[in-house]
């Protein structure tokens, strides 16, 4: 059995895909070229995930604060996401990849929303890996929403709160391009996540880099506040 497979039944990796802009401008290219190459990296890491024992993969594609970017970049990113869904859903179905979007939906263009809903419906039976695309996502907003859900159900346990959030607890969080911050991503879910910050930009990130990240994760001792077993 490969070393990646442990007794752990779920393994959630979250990715902050940073450095698309730097990758492009460093090569004299428009920023959108970096995002386009970044979409290729997304395809690669999704392909690599089931073989690494990853059951859940969450990728930060567009934060709610990213609306502050120039309109052309926002439009370019939304177009790229639409193209990605149009091209990749059939592959996902073939490869057992379930796709969902997490985040606000009310500000997305109707055409993109329709593609998301179609992808979610068609890939719903897939169970090799569940890929969540965080889109117009803010963890603080998700926390407020979860609090509202708990209040309206009158249930305030930790497990009820977690269940009201759109993603499970994170085991490993990887951020590329050298920055070391969470940027309003999965704040509750990362309570006991292992963090890995890598220097490579997102467009340079490969399946082998994901495998190296998982190997690093496996080498860490997670104690969840307890003492190591004697």
Cβ burial, residue 100 (10 Å; 0-12/13-18/19+): middle
d(CA 225, CA 206): 33
95 has catalytic annotation: no
Can residue 130 be called a binding residue for ligand FPP (CB under 6 A)?
A: no
Can residue 167 be called a binding residue for ligand FPP (CB under 6 A)?
A: no
Can residue 18 be called a binding residue for ligand FPP (CB under 6 A)?
A: yes
The number of C-alpha atoms within 13 Å of 84 and in the hemisphere containing its C-beta is 22
Work out which of 133, 170, 210, 214 binds ligand FPP, going by CB under 6 A.
133
Q: Specify the DSSP class assigned to residue 29.
A: -
Can residue 39 be called a binding residue for ligand FPP (CB under 6 A)?
A: yes
Give the number of other Cβ atoms within 10 Å of residue 222's Cβ.
Answer: 12
Left (φ > 0), alpha (ψ -120 to 50) or beta: where does 53 sit?
left
Total binding residues for ligand FPP by CB under 6 A?
Answer: 20
Work out which of 38, 53, 76, 166 binds ligand FPP, going by CB under 6 A.
38
Can residue 202 be called a binding residue for ligand FPP (CB under 6 A)?
A: yes
Per-residue x/- track, 45-74, ligand FPP (CB under 6 A)? --------------x-x----x--------
Write out the two tokens for 170: 């994170």
Rounded to a whole number of angstroms, the minimum distance from the CB of residue 86 to ligand FPP is: 11
Q: Are 209 and 13 in contact (CB under 8 A)?
A: no
Nearer to ligand FPP, 30 or 51 (CB): 30
- Residues in 88-127 that interact with ligand FPP by CB under 6 A: none
Cβ burial, residue 186 (10 Å; 0-12/13-18/19+): buried
Can residue 198 be called a binding residue for ligand FPP (CB under 6 A)?
A: no
Write out the two tokens for 41: 């990296």
Can residue 80 be called a binding residue for ligand FPP (CB under 6 A)?
A: yes
Catalytically active residues, by annotation: 18, 66
Residues near ligand FPP (CB under 6 A) are: 17-22, 35, 38-39, 42, 59, 61, 66, 77, 80-81, 84, 133, 177, 202
């Amino acid at each position: 059995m490969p070393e990646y497979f442990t007794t752990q039944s779920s393994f959630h990796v979250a990715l902050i895909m940073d450095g698309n802009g730097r990758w492009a401008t460093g090569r004299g290219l428009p920023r959108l070229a970096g995002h386009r190459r970044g979409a290729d990296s997304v395809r690669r890491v999704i392909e690599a995930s089931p073989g690494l024992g990853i059951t859940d993969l969450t990728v930060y594609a567009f934060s709610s604060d990213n609306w502050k970017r120039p309109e052309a970049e926002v439009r370019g990113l939304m177009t790229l996401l639409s193209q990605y869904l149009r091209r990749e859903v059939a592959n996902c179905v073939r490869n057992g990849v379930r796709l969902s979007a997490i985040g606000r939906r009310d500000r997305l263009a109707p055409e993109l929303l329709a593609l998301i809903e179609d992808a979610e419906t068609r890939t719903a039976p897939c169970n090799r890996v569940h890929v969540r695309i965080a889109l117009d996502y803010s963890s603080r907003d998700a926390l407020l929403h979860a609090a509202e859900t708990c209040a309206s159900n009158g249930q305030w346990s930790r497990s009820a709160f977690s269940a009201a959030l759109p993603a499970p607890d994170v085991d490993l969080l990887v951020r590329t391009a050298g920055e070391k911050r969470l940027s309003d991503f999965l704040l509750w879910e990362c309570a006991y996540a292992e963090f890995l910050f890598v220097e490579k930009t997102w467009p340079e990130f490969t399946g082998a880099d994901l495998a190296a990240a998982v190997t690093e994760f496996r080498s860490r001792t997670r104690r969840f506040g307890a003492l190591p077993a004697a």
